[in-house]
């Protein structure tokens, strides 16, 4: 590498570090705060003394207060919600994306356009009508109703992304699989799907996060605390009358964040591994 290239690289890294620093600092503060004692931690970055008291909510349900359900119940609900949305969204978007990419049928263009229009509505505007729909379907006060709503709202985006990925897989790949002895379905499963793994991975991450962070619909469509997810759990601690316990709040926030970090790290690796393959024509 020449001197100029080296200097450019150094500048780039410096710029990236500068950009990342505030975010990293905020997370560092959050983690430190979760181990801080009492109210001291509200000032400055480093707490004056450390304790694990804030984390007691993990094993002692009463530590977080009587107005919230067990954190493990909320976690279970969050996992059920996020994973269900992810599984449904990925499988529907993948199959629909394939059909939109490969098959020509009457009304394909308009349908594709309509699907995109669907995506343009902010979900808040649909809140009341969705409430009524769920009420009549008997899916109110249930996570499954929210799963269906979330999947329906995200599906257009997923279909669009997957269609793009399928478009980039050449027809020859599929024909070649048929020549080698695959059925049409076999070609899809053994040859086409592995080539769109980066797309599947990105939709999986995206839809999992959508479910994990969902607050509005859970808040609006469930009434019983047994249906609470971590986002409602966190909100309830934050909005307590008489002031929030910031140590507890920070600990719950870190707890809420951890699975996402792990999930992202895993999916990221998956993403880059698959992309090494690359189609060369």
> Which residues of this protein are in contact with another protein, per CB under 8 A?
170, 172-173, 175-183, 186, 191, 194-195, 197, 274, 276-281
Closest contact distance (angstroms) between CB of 94 and another protein is: 16
DSSP letter, residue 65 = -
CB 93 within 8 A of CB 161: yes
Our CB check for another protein shows the closer of 174 and 210 to be 174
Our CB check for another protein shows the closer of 48 and 176 to be 176
Closest contact distance (angstroms) between CB of 183 and another protein is: 7
CB 51 within 8 A of CB 37: yes
CB 67 within 8 A of CB 238: no
Closest contact distance (angstroms) between CB of 281 and another protein is: 5
Closest contact distance (angstroms) between CB of 170 and another protein is: 6
Our CB check for another protein shows the closer of 55 and 98 to be 98
Our CB check for another protein shows the closer of 65 and 194 to be 194
Closest contact distance (angstroms) between CB of 188 and another protein is: 13
d(CA 137, CA 202): 31
Our CB check for another protein shows the closer of 95 and 176 to be 176
29 CB neighbour count, 10 Å cutoff: 17
Our CB check for another protein shows the closer of 138 and 281 to be 281
H/E/C letters for each residue in 165-188?
HHHCCCHHHHHHHHHCCCCHHHHH
CB 207 within 8 A of CB 199: no
Q: Which of 160, 182, 52 is nearest to 114 (CA)?
A: 160
Closest contact distance (angstroms) between CB of 134 and another protein is: 41
Q: Which of 195, 204, 183, 209 is nearest to 101 (CA)?
A: 195
3-class DSSP assignment, residue 234: helix
């Amino acid at each position: 590498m020449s001197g100029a290239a080296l200097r450019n690289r150094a500048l780039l890294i410096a710029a990236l570090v500068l950009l990342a620093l505030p975010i990293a600092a905020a997370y560092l503060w959050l983690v430190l705060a979760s181990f801080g004692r009492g109210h001291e931690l509200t000032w400055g970055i480093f707490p004056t003394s450390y304790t694990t008291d804030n984390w007691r909510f993990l094993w002692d349900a009463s530590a977080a207060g009587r107005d919230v359900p067990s954190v493990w119940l909320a976690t279970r609900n969050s996992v059920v919600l996020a994973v269900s949305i992810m599984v449904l969204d990925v499988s529907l978007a993948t199959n629909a994306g394939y059909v939109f990419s490969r098959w020509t049928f009457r009304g394909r263009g308009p349908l594709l356009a309509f699907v995109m229009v669907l995506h343009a509505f902010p979900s808040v505007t649909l809140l009341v009508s969705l409430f009524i729909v769920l009420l009549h379907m008997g899916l109110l006060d249930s996570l499954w109703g929210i799963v269906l709503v979330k999947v329906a709202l995200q599906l257009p985006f997923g279909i669009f992304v997957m269609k793009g990925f399928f478009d980039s897989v050449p027809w020859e790949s599929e024909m070649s699989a048929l020549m080698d002895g695959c059925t049409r379905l076999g070609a899809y499963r053994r040859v086409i799907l592995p080539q769109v793994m980066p797309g599947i991975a990105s939709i999986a991450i995206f839809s999992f996060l959508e479910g994990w962070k969902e607050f509005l619909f859970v808040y609006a469509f469930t009434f019983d605390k047994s249906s609470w997810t971590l986002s409602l759990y966190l909100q309830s601690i934050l909005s307590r009358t008489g002031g929030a316990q910031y140590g507890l709040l920070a600990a719950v926030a870190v707890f809420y964040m951890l699975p996402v970090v792990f999930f992202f790290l895993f999916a990221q690796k998956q993403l880059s591994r698959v992309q090494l393959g690359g189609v060369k024509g």
